[in-house]
């Protein structure tokens, strides 16, 4: 490639990111540019003030790592270009404060809502309104890269090999370039230590005899460290009690103004979603209602306070519903959050296949009895003046629920 064929992004994680100019039509448009106004970590910057990075930065980073991995695996050029497109556009569908908006919609309006599906809608709209020359089979291929779910063979002209769909979003092992970037970037931005040597993992990857991406056994610890870093980020950063308090307050604001600002219905109106459902929505509401007490509290960091917190199993989802419907429901807010190393059913490495020096598949990981999935269960009080009464109620109620559901929780001991 010559200088005239490429552009350069100066990235604070990856250094100089080189990109061919053929990708510019997918970046220089209103749909991709709105990712500049979507904070990657929602309200986390209220706790870790350096966490102001955006989906734009992350998308460029995932593109860079994906391009590197495609080169190492010697992916055919025509497939590599489309896989890179999937990496670049995989997060187009995020709403205000990224996963915060998605969580709100799922909790109060549509439990099946998925930002990935919205990304597909917006990718198609980007192609259409910018008159980009990309035919239907190629568009479908990019869709499959974003979701990690390959279509049936008759739906695309491309070879149906699993490894093509295991680079950006790997539903088999959960090891993918999206994860490589967000773990590295988020850790750097918030100033915490992480152990994610993604380059070593990439350079120890290979396409095995079954058409899947496997890894040489000598990087087993690096892969485990990747998942362990993810777990620590979820527990200590994404699930920080102050961050969650802000999310709950934001939920209450969105519920209050849901109809007026079309918050839950705008995903059916792509233009409205593109123009309005970004991080500016809070300022838009504040501009119209400057005396709204809840928004004023958010702005001066007068937040909901935790009165009970514990780590438990998934029974907490049932308990959360009990509290949300209790007599104190207008004074308390309940938050549950799953924290896990990966989405694999058993252990972090249970779905990862390894290769020996002879390039033969081998299993070098033994399952253990450690619990790799936990839930954070928290009860917040909306005003400090209710703390004493709410604490008394929670203590009584949890004793009752402990017996009713055989929870085995340790409460106020």
Give me the chain's average pLDDT, please: 90
Instruction: Characterize 89-107 residue by residue with b for buried, 16 or more Cβ atoms within 10 angstroms of its Cβ, and e for exposed.
Output: bbbbbbbbbbbbbbbbbee
Q: Please tell me whether residues 101 and 226 are part of one structural domain.
A: yes
Q: Please tell me whether residues 69 and 168 are part of one structural domain.
A: yes
Q: Are 324 and 198 in contact (CB under 8 A)?
A: no
Q: Where residue 129 sits, what CATH number does that domain have?
A: 1.10.3210.10
pLDDT value of position 397: 83
Between 112 and 315, where is the model more confident?
112
Among residues 236, 253, 270, which one ends one of the domains? 236
pLDDT value of position 125: 98
Percent of the chain with pLDDT over 70: 91
Q: Please tell me whether residues 160 and 19 are part of one structural domain.
A: yes
Tell me, yes or no, whether 276 lies in a domain: no
Residue ranges making up the domain that contains 368: 304-413
Alpha helices in 130-176 (DSSP H): 136-147
Q: Is 379 exposed, middle or buried (0-12, 13-18, 19+ CB in 10 A)?
A: buried
Q: Please tell me whether residues 321 and 219 are part of one structural domain.
A: no
Considering only CA atoms, which of 103, 89, 120, 400 is closest in space to residue 239? Answer: 103
**pLDDT band at residue 405 using 50, 70 and 90 as cut-offs:** confident
Angle (CA) 40 171 176, round 5°? 55
Q: Are 194 and 161 in contact (CB under 8 A)?
A: no
Q: Please tell me whether residues 212 and 336 are part of one structural domain.
A: no
Q: pLDDT per residue over 167-185, tens digit each?
A: 999 999 999 999 999 999 9
pTM equals: 0.94
Q: Are 53 and 187 in contact (CB under 8 A)?
A: no
Q: What's the average model confidence in pLDDT over 63-87? A: 97
Point out the least confidently predicted range of 12-21, 72-81, 180-189, 336-345. Answer: 336-345
Among residues 236, 258, 281, which one ends one of the domains? 236
Cα separation, 283 vs 276, in Å, equals 11
Alpha helices in 34-135 (DSSP H): 55-72, 77-89, 99-108, 115-129
pLDDT at 410 > cutoff 70: no
Task: Tell me 235's DSSP state.
Answer: I
Tell me, yes or no, whether 8 lies in a domain: yes
Phi-psi region of 318 (alpha: psi -120 to 50; beta: other; left: phi over 0): alpha
Q: Please tell me whether residues 211 and 346 are part of one structural domain.
A: no
pLDDT at 261 > cutoff 50: yes
Tell me, yes or no, whether 134 lies in a domain: yes
Tell me, yes or no, whether 56 lies in a domain: yes
Torsion sign over Cα 282, 283, 289, 293 = positive
Length of the chain: 413
Tell me, yes or no, whether 353 lies in a domain: yes
CA 55 to chain centre: 10
Tell me, yes or no, whether 111 lies in a domain: yes
pLDDT at 160 > cutoff 60: no
Name the 3-class secondary structure at 120.
Answer: helix
Between 312 and 258, where is the model more confident?
258
Q: Please tell me whether residues 204 and 350 are part of one structural domain.
A: no
Among residues 236, 254, 280, which one ends one of the domains? 236
Q: Where residue 374 sits, what CATH number does that domain have?
A: 3.30.70.1370
Q: pLDDT per residue over 288-311, tens digit each?
A: 999 999 999 999 999 999 999 888
Q: Please tell me whether residues 210 and 347 are part of one structural domain.
A: no
Tell me, yes or no, whether 179 lies in a domain: yes
Tell me, yes or no, whether 286 lies in a domain: no
Between 218 and 344, where is the model more confident?
218
pLDDT at 205 > cutoff 80: yes
Considering only CA atoms, which of 219, 202, 405, 213 is closest in space to residue 323? Answer: 405
**pLDDT band at residue 257 using 50, 70 and 90 as cut-offs:** very high
Q: What's the average model confidence in pLDDT over 236-256? A: 97
Q: What's the average model confidence in pLDDT over 272-300? A: 96
Q: Please tell me whether residues 180 and 319 are part of one structural domain.
A: no
Q: Please tell me whether residues 229 and 353 are part of one structural domain.
A: no
Q: Please tell me whether residues 183 and 99 are part of one structural domain.
A: yes
Cα separation, 59 vs 62, in Å, equals 5
**pLDDT band at residue 398 using 50, 70 and 90 as cut-offs:** confident
Cα separation, 356 vs 358, in Å, equals 5
Q: Please tell me whether residues 211 and 318 are part of one structural domain.
A: no
Number of domains making up the chain: 2
Considering only CA atoms, which of 324, 360, 46 is closest in space to residue 208? Answer: 360
């Amino acid at each position: 490639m010559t200088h005239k064929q490429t552009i350069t992004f100066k990235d604070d994680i990856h250094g100089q990111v080189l990109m061919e100019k053929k990708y510019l039509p997918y970046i220089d448009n209103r749909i991709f540019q709105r990712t500049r106004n979507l904070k990657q970590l929602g309200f986390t910057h209220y706790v870790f003030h350096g966490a102001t990075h955006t989906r734009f930065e992350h998308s460029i980073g995932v593109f860079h790592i994906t391009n590197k991995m495609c080169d190492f695996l010697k992916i055919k050029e025509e497939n590599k270009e489309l896989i890179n497109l999937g990496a670049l556009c995989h997060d187009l569908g995020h709403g205000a404060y990224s996963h915060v908006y998605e969580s709100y919609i799922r909790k109060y309006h549509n439990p099946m809502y998925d930002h990935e599906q919205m990304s597909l809608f917006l990718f198609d709209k980007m192609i259409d309104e910018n008159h980009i020359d990309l035919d239907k089979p190629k568009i479908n291929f990019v869709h499959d890269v974003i979701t990690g779910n390959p279509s049936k063979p008759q739906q695309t002209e491309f070879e149906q090999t699993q490894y093509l769909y295991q680079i950006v979003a790997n539903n088999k092992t959960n090891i993918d370039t999206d994860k490589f970037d967000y773990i590295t970037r988020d850790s750097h931005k918030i100033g915490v230590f992480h152990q994610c040597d993604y380059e070593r993992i990439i350079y120890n990857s290979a396409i095995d005899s079954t058409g899947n991406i496997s890894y040489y056994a000598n990087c087993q610890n690096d892969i485990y460290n990747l998942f362990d870093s993810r777990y620590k980020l979820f527990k200590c950063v994404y699930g920080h009690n102050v961050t969650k308090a802000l999310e709950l307050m934001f939920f209450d604001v969105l519920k209050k103004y849901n109809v007026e600002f079309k918050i839950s219905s705008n995903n059916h109106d792509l233009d409205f979603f593109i123009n309005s459902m970004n991080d500016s929505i809070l300022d838009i509401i504040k501009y119209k209602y400057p005396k709204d007490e809840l928004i004023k509290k958010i702005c001066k960091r007068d937040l909901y306070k935790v009165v009970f917190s514990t780590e438990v199993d998934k029974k907490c989802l049932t308990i959360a519903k009990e509290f949300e419907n209790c007599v104190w429901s207008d004074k308390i807010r309940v938050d549950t959050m799953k924290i896990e190393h990966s989405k694999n059913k058993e252990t972090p490495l249970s779905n990862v296949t390894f290769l020996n020096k002879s390039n033969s598949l081998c299993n070098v990981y033994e399952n253990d009895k450690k619990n790799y999935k936990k839930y954070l269960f928290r009860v917040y009080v909306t005003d400090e003046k209710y703390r004493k009464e709410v604490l008394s109620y929670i203590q009584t109620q949890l004793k009752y629920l402990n017996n009713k559901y055989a929870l085995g929780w340790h409460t106020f001991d």
